[in-house]
Structure 1
Amino acid sequence: MARKQKEKSKQTMNDLMDSAQKLFVRKGYVATSVAEITDNAGYSKGNFYRYWASKDRLFLDILESKMRDYREARDKKLSTAGSLEEVINIIWDFLEDIVRDCNWAKVFLEFTIHAARTPEIRGDLGLSQYRLSDEIFAGLISEYLETDFPAEKLGALNTVMFEGFMVHNALGTGVLDLQTVRDAAVTLILDKGLKK
């Protein structure tokens, strides 16, 4: 009996998360209410609050799940890398997967701005399971560096270039394309990370 209840709970959570993702993409994060999420999924608000204290917490769970999926695909490829250039290109393949999910990328940017104004969420969003982490990046490239340039700084530069592109892309400026940003990031990292 307990197993059936666990399965039912898991299904309820998945239904609510799916409903939220669809509504966030269609309406935006801020414009979507908990009542809309639960109505769309066919559940009561009580079911929602059984699993999450707030819409922000639900979003963080969705984000963690998405990042886990992206990272699993990346890590499989990384196991075969033999050079800094290969590792950086695998990382950029991973980043391109995020960009291809363009509707979700816009929701993530909206949530990031929301979190910047909400101190308790801002702190959580900075945790590595939710975002592109300078520490994770450093860990992925450290063994391939030939210089003493800090791997965390390379991670931060890479993240700034990627997230800057995401903003440009969301605004539809058309000034930069992803390949140009990727090429610039790879060039910068190889320049700072390899002996000349």
Structure 2
Amino acid sequence: MARLTRVESQAQTRQKLLDAARDMFSRDGYAATSIDRIADAAGFSKGAVYSNFAGKEAIFLEVLEALGQASLDPLLEAIDTASGADAVVELLVAWADDRSQSGNWSLTILEHARTADLDTQSLERQREILRSHWRQLGEKLVGKFAGVSAEPETLGALMHELAYAPAMTFVSRPRAGDLVRLSLKAILA
């Protein structure tokens, strides 16, 4: 087996750190996840974390962006091929139900926002990531829902907020998809 180049080795280390951080943030939340714990879970030293990331906030934001995009991309592709508005609504219902079962992630996002200084670059970056995801979904939906006059970012934010609402992670009824269906029925009427 060929030996990894330095660049390949660093990319592999970075990915292992991101994977460990994703699991820890998802399971334990923002405050309970530390650089030491991420490094230990990935099998590296704390120095390996700092040689790849500026700190805990940087690794959190990269995980946030990657997880959100990984959830959004298949949905956007499915919306592209959906046969009409009703099919798009059902895709969103299924997506919301799935997202609502994604564990503590919505609480972790709130925890980061609550613990970050209000005027930090980290909090601004979190806002940018979330708004980007909202816009991507909203633009796709406005293109599929003829006659909808909602701002794309607002429509996307509504869908995300219903899907990721913290209460939806621990109640069985109503489901997040029920809320999405109800809101879209009103919007499309």
TM-score category (smaller protein): 0.7 to 0.9
Residue in structure 2 matched with residue 136 of structure 1 by the alignment: 136
Question: SS state of the match for residue 126, structure 1?
Answer: helix
Alignment of 1:1-196 (within 5 A): 4-115=5-116, 117=118, 119-128=120-129, 130=130, 133-147=133-147, 149-152=149-152, 153-163=154-164, 166-170=165-169, 172=170, 176-191=174-189
Shift of 1:36: 1.8
**Cα deviations across residues 74-125 of structure 1 (Å, max 9, x unaligned)?**
1331231232332233234333332232243443343343357463222111
- Aligned-pair Cα RMSD in Å: 2.9
Change (3 A) 1:36 1:144: closer
C-alpha distance in structure 1 between counterparts of 2:134 and 2:34, whole Å: 33
Letter in 1 for 2:144: Y
How many residue pairs get aligned? The number is 187
Structure 2 stretches lacking a partner, 5+ long? none
Structure 1-normalised TM-score?
Answer: 0.77
Question: SS state of the match for residue 50, structure 1?
Answer: helix
C-alpha distance in structure 1 between counterparts of 2:161 and 2:117, whole Å: 16
CA contact (8 A) 1:28 1:107 kept: yes
Shift of 1:175: 6.0
Letter in 2 for 1:184: L
Letter in 2 for 1:123: E
Shift of 1:8: 0.7
Question: SS state of the match for residue 188, structure 2?
Answer: helix
C-alpha distance in structure 2 between counterparts of 1:24 and 1:46, whole Å: 20
CA contact (8 A) 1:19 1:40 kept: yes
Change (3 A) 1:94 1:113: farther
Structure 1 stretches lacking a partner, 5+ long? 192-196
Structure 2-normalised TM-score?
Answer: 0.79
CA contact (8 A) 2:57 2:122 kept: yes
Letter in 2 for 1:143: G
CA contact (8 A) 2:14 2:52 kept: yes
Greater Cα shift, 135-144 or 41-50: 135-144
CA contact (8 A) 2:138 2:155 kept: yes
Change (3 A) 1:9 1:137: same
Shift of 1:32: 1.8
Greater Cα shift, 103-112 or 26-35: 103-112
- Report the identity percentage: 23
